[in-house]
A and B are shown apart, each in its own frame.
Chain A
Amino acid sequence: MSTTTPATPPSLPPAGRTATKDRPHGGVGDRFRLWWDALARPTQWLVGVPFLLFMAAVPLLNIPVLTTQGTDFGGVMAQFGMIALIAIGLNVVVGQAGLLDLGYVGFYAIGAYTVAILTSPDSPWNQTGDGMWLSREWAWLAALPVAVAITAISGLILGSPTLRLRGDYLAIVTLGFGEIVRLLADNLDELTGGGQGLRGVAYPRAGVTEDLPSGVFSAGNASGAVNSGVWWYWVSLVFIVVTLLFVGNLERSRVGRAWVAIREDEDAAEIMGVPTFRFKLWAFIIGASIGGAAGALYAGQVQFVIPTNFNIINSVLFLCAVVLGGQGNKLGVILGAFIVVYVPNFFLGRQTLFGIPIDGDEIASYKYLFFGIALVVLMIFRPQGIIPARQKLLTYGRELYVAARRSAARAAGRAPGRTEAAATTSGKESS
């Protein structure tokens, strides 16, 4: 509601909230963020690459409490990588451009089904047999750009009529679209195998050895520390890094500024000369193609697609990851994806937690109940998510942003009369 009424008694915020209000950009992790933004780009890479390598090594390190017990940890991490990619894509649409898309699973499904239809032996359009134009070994990699292109086109097809609608209507129309895609997959039996799904989807044949006749990416590589789940996790990490670079650059470009303007006030943006429809469409198309890439990853990893994996509840789960982590913040939504994937798997098959006996399977089966409660509680108490997006001076670059934030912190926290140097050093210590 945009209107306040005198009838509702003004709720007095607790002391902590008032303090946050006085500090306009206050929040958890701001010090870290200030420090990070102040680093030069090569230094950021110097810190980022080892961190990335550590993330890649997580499934191999067998960390005591972190490693899941009921399910294979590599598989869980592979799933996390995929959902993280989806969350980044959905974040472009929901977080950056402010368009609520409840049918994002539709793009994910289109990506997965494109790869499956091109490479599954069950499909009538299979291109991987003898004399066809795709070799069985590299069919997945060849089908990947096709999948991304087709989902981008489907984003265009869905977006061009519907993006003229207002926010609420858009949500429901996209919901309908997601459901239509699933029903198409279910009903077009001859093409998609209907409820039976499509089996034998191609995956990259790499690292073929005596022990692993079908390569490290095959579902047959199930035993040992470096199983197929870990390999797929690594592939999805590569995807995530590439996508983050792409989306990050977009964010700092004219496109990103237009998205922020549209998200904050569409009418004002339009009046200021932002072609809102075109940029909304771009957000939709880019989001869709990232979703398609994630779908292609999924199809290759599971090597089997079936309509029930693409129902609306997944769409809501993706949205949950984005909202939980913090809309508009790329790292936040990755954290959100991790929580959404990891927490249910953490409890699965776990009998004790820090010595306390628990029924992990029972807790894991309640996951949607907990996600629902988490969403409601989060929306009431922290609607911006765990790591919220911050408004930055995108145009003038990091240096000015950091300088402005430093001086704001100094003005808020320091007593007047200090020397400039002392203030700077103490500012650095507290950062």
Chain B
Amino acid sequence: MPALADALLTSATAGPLVHQSLIDFNIAGLGRNFWGLTVEGLTYGAIYALVAVGYTLVYGVLRLINFAHSEVFMLGMFGQYATLMLLGFSPSGNAYDKGILLTVLYLGIAMLGGMAVAGGAAVGLERVAYRPLRRRNAPSLVFLITAIGMSFVLQEFVHFVLPRLTGGTLGGVNAQQPIRLVQPEVQFSIFGAPVTNVTLVIIGSALVLAVAVDLFVNRSPFGRGIRAVAQDPVTATLMGVSRERVIMLTFLIGGILAGAAALLYTLRVPNGIIYSGGFVLGIKAFSAAVLGGIGNLRGALLGGLLLGVMENYGQVVFGTEWRDVVAFVLLIVVLMFRPTGILGESLGRARA
């Protein structure tokens, strides 16, 4: 990334001569690479948006922060990795060169694998941890603490138990060696910003999935059930909507999108497949959901893109190491001024 190099250069030359400040303010770097940063930010933002949908749907239906959703995403990363290994790929330094059609096919299969694992994990999570609590009418704090507990369990499962089950090929302390199917290559440029094939794939698939889930929730009969339960669980039940089935469906959709996001994320960050790899991304996706208005589907998509872009701008202005700080400060600031997020927080009434 040229913007990063610029930021490093300015701090290296200006630092010792001028006043040695703790944080650099590189506004010029932002101006120079504005479009490049925007494209890069949208790439991350698309991934945040997909994960954020999982948080927002579950929150809309259950009023629960599914803290373990980040681990569902992490399992999705392992799911797509395992699928690629089953297809005969093995980790190597160079990217495979299979031609466009085959690569897309393999990526599609891997994405399905990731979706299956993540979707299954999300539904299983709901069954094992949340359903018993719902039966007992537990307060929301209890749900949240259970979610944190499940997050621990899933992380440590991949950390310690999975390597034993797979003979050390999956999981463990270290990140997985990347399997590269796509070598990032610049395809064209917008306003001087280079757009790689990876960026195209990520933004394209995220768009397709976002439109699909929006149509599903807003147009299909299942989606109507979800919105009904989100709006008024008791009346929805009286009208013949099975609340349990809607909850399961909600977790399933969230898990499937997290699985898809997992594949897209590993395209962009091939070294990110590690047991702790979902945590920070999960918090950011949750921030994105809150930013757009949690419980609101389109809010999650908007919040994701916004967070990705803002974070990328902030990273150049303040320096790479401040990236996460920018994201969290943004969350706090937005909540202070607009406590229900940008688009407000209702899944039931979110019909544009």
CB of B233 within 8 A of CB of A319, answer no
Q: A374 an interface residue at 8 Å Cβ cutoff?
A: yes
Q: B150 an interface residue at 8 Å Cβ cutoff?
A: yes
Q: How far is the CB of A192 from chain B (nearest CB, A)?
A: 10
CB of B243 within 8 A of CB of A372, answer no
CB of B144 within 8 A of CB of A380, answer no
Q: B19 an interface residue at 8 Å Cβ cutoff?
A: no
| In-complex Cβ contact of B237 among A5, A175, A365 (8 A) | A5
Q: Return the CB mask of A165-181 against B: 1 if under 8 Å, else 0.
A: 11111011101110110
| In-complex Cβ contact of A375 among B133, B152, B160, B287 (8 A) | B152
Q: Which residues of A contact B237 (CB under 8 A)?
A: 5-7
Q: CA of A191 to CA of B21 in the docked complex: distance in angstroms?
A: 11
Q: CA of A120 to CA of B134 in the docked complex: distance in angstroms?
A: 51
Q: Which residues of B contact A374 (CB under 8 A)?
A: 149
User: Which residue of chain B has its CB nearest to the CB of A370?
Assistant: B156
Q: B250 an interface residue at 8 Å Cβ cutoff?
A: no
Q: CA of A388 to CA of B331 in the docked complex: distance in angstroms?
A: 35
Q: CA of A6 to CA of B129 in the docked complex: distance in angstroms?
A: 21
User: Which residue of chain B has its CB nearest to the CB of A170?
Assistant: B335
Q: How far is the CB of B93 from chain A (nearest CB, A)?
A: 28
Interface of A is mostly: helix
CB of A7 within 8 A of CB of B242, answer yes
CB of A176 within 8 A of CB of B332, answer yes
Q: B105 an interface residue at 8 Å Cβ cutoff?
A: no
CB of B63 within 8 A of CB of A1, answer yes
CB of B335 within 8 A of CB of A165, answer yes
Q: How far is the CB of A65 from chain B (nearest CB, A)?
A: 26
| In-complex Cβ contact of A169 among B145, B238, B335 (8 A) | B335
Q: Which residues of B contact A180 (CB under 8 A)?
A: 325, 328-329
Q: B56 an interface residue at 8 Å Cβ cutoff?
A: no
Q: CA of A312 to CA of B287 in the docked complex: distance in angstroms?
A: 16
Q: How far is the CB of B174 from chain A (nearest CB, A)?
A: 15
Q: A3 an interface residue at 8 Å Cβ cutoff?
A: yes
Q: B312 an interface residue at 8 Å Cβ cutoff?
A: no
Q: B92 an interface residue at 8 Å Cβ cutoff?
A: no
Q: Which residues of B contact A172 (CB under 8 A)?
A: 65, 283, 286-287, 290, 331
Question: Beyond A8-B244, A376-B149, A380-B133: 14 further Cβ-contacts under 8 Å?
Answer: A1-B134, A7-B243, A162-B336, A166-B339, A180-B328, A312-B279, A366-B160, A369-B152, A369-B160, A372-B150, A375-B149, A379-B133, A379-B142, A380-B132
Q: Report B's interface with A, CB cutoff 8 A.
A: 20, 22, 62-63, 65, 128-129, 132-142, 144-146, 148-157, 159-161, 233-234, 237-238, 242-244, 279-280, 283, 286-287, 290, 319, 321-322, 324-325, 328-329, 331-332, 335-336, 339
5 contacts across the A-B interface (CB closer than 8 A): A2-B137, A184-B325, A369-B159, A379-B138, A383-B142
